[in-house]
C-alpha cells in the first residue's frame, strides 16, 4: 500500500451515533445480496432494531434521477462522469436520509452497495484507479464509511449461471463481458485488503443458509464490539 493511499484511507470514519449502526452489502451480480438483505432486515428487526434499507444509486428523488441517467443510458458515459454521478447520489442520500435516521438511537441503516462498488466498478472496472475513487470521497459526508461491510464473494462462473437463470433484461453494467467482471472481483478483493476491519468477506459460492449464518456472526460481533 502506498503512503498516499494510507493517508486517504485515514480520513474515513463510521458515523458516531450511540446505539445506531451503518451496514453495507457488496458483491457482483448474482452474489445473492437482495435475498440476504431481506433476511438480515427481518433478523435485526427481531432483535428490536429499527431497520431501513437504502439502495445505491438512488434513495432520494435527486438520486433516483441520477440512477436513471446512469442505468438507462443508451450511450456510454465517461468513467469520470460516472464516478461523480455515483458520488453525487451518495452524498445526497447521506445528507437527506442516513444521517438523520441514524440520529434515532437503535437504528440500523443497510445500504445495498456503497463505496466498495465505486472502487470495484469505476476504480477497477472502468480503470480510474482506486486512488481516484478515494480522492473523490475526501469531503464530508462522503468520508463516512459503514461500521461493517458484508462482501459476498462469488466467481465469474457462478455469476454467469445465476444471471442466466434470472432471464431479465440486462442493464448498463450487466451487458459487460468477462474481463470487466474479473476486474470487479479484483476491485472487491482490493477493498477487502485496504479496509480489513470494515470489510467482512463471505464465501458466496456456499448455500444461502451458510451465507446468512456468516452475516449473523459478523453482525453480532459488531453489536457486541461497539456496545
Nearest to 118 by CA among 140, 142, 100, 94: 142
Asked if residue 148 lies in contact with residue 102, where contact means CB atoms within 8 angstroms, the answer is: no
Least CB distance to ligand TYD at residue 117 (A) = 4
Sheet containing 107-112: give its strands across: 50-55, 107-112, 21-26, 148-153, 199-203
Is residue 117 within the footprint of ligand TYD (CB under 6 A)? yes
Is residue 55 within the footprint of ligand TYD (CB under 6 A)? yes
| 110 membership: H or E segment, kind and range | strand 107-112
Residue with cell 441520477: 66
Which residue in 15, 22, 37, 56 binds ligand TYD (CB under 6 A)? 56
Is residue 200 within the footprint of ligand TYD (CB under 6 A)? no
Is residue 26 within the footprint of ligand TYD (CB under 6 A)? no
Which alpha helices (DSSP H) does 56-174 contain, by range? 61-71, 79-93, 99-102, 115-118, 130-136, 156-166
Is residue 204 within the footprint of ligand TYD (CB under 6 A)? no
Is residue 29 within the footprint of ligand TYD (CB under 6 A)? yes
Sign of the CA dihedral running 119, 178, 152, 86: positive
Residues 61-90 contacting ligand TYD, CB under 6 A: 71, 86
Which residue in 40, 118, 136, 191 binds ligand TYD (CB under 6 A)? 118
Least CB distance to ligand TYD at residue 19 (A) = 27
What are the residues binding ligand TYD (CB under 6 A)? Answer: 29, 55-57, 71, 86, 112-113, 117-118, 121-122, 171, 173
Amino acid at each position: 500500500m502506498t503512503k498516499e493511499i494510507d493517508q486517504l484511507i485515514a480520513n474515513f470514519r463510521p458515523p458516531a451515533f450511540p446505539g445506531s449502526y451503518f451496514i453495507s452489502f457488496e458483491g457482483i451480480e448474482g452474489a445473492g445480496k437482495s435475498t440476504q438483505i431481506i433476511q438480515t432486515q427481518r433478523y435485526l428487526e427481531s432483535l428490536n432494531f429499527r431497520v431501513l434499507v437504502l439502495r445505491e444509486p438512488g434513495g432520494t428523488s435527486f438520486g433516483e434521477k441520477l440512477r436513471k441517467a446512469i442505468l438507462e443510458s443508451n450511450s456510454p458515459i465517461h468513467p469520470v462522469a460516472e464516478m461523480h454521478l455515483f458520488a453525487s447520489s451518495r452524498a445526497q442520500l447521506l445528507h437527506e436520509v442516513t444521517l438523520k435516521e441514524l440520529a434515532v438511537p437503535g437504528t440500523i441503516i443497510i445500504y445495498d452497495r456503497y463505496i466498495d462498488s465505486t472502487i470495484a466498478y469505476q476504480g477497477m472496472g472502468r480503470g480510474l484507479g482506486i486512488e481516484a475513487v478515494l480522492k473523490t470521497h475526501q469531503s464530508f459526508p462522503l468520508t463516512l464509511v459503514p461500521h461493517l461491510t458484508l462482501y459476498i464473494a462469488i466467481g465469474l462462473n457462478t455469476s454467469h449461471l445465476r444471471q442466466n437463470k434470472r432471464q431479465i433484461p440486462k442493464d448498463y453494467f450487466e451487458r459487460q463481458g468477462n474481463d470487466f467482471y474479473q476486474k470487479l472481483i479484483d476491485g472487491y478483493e482490493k477493498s477487502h485488503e485496504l479496509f480489513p476491519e470494515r470489510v467482512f468477506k463471505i464465501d458466496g459460492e456456499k448455500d444461502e443458509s451458510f451465507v446468512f449464518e456468516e452475516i449473523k456472526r459478523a453482525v453480532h460481533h459488531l453489536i457486541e464490539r461497539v456496545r
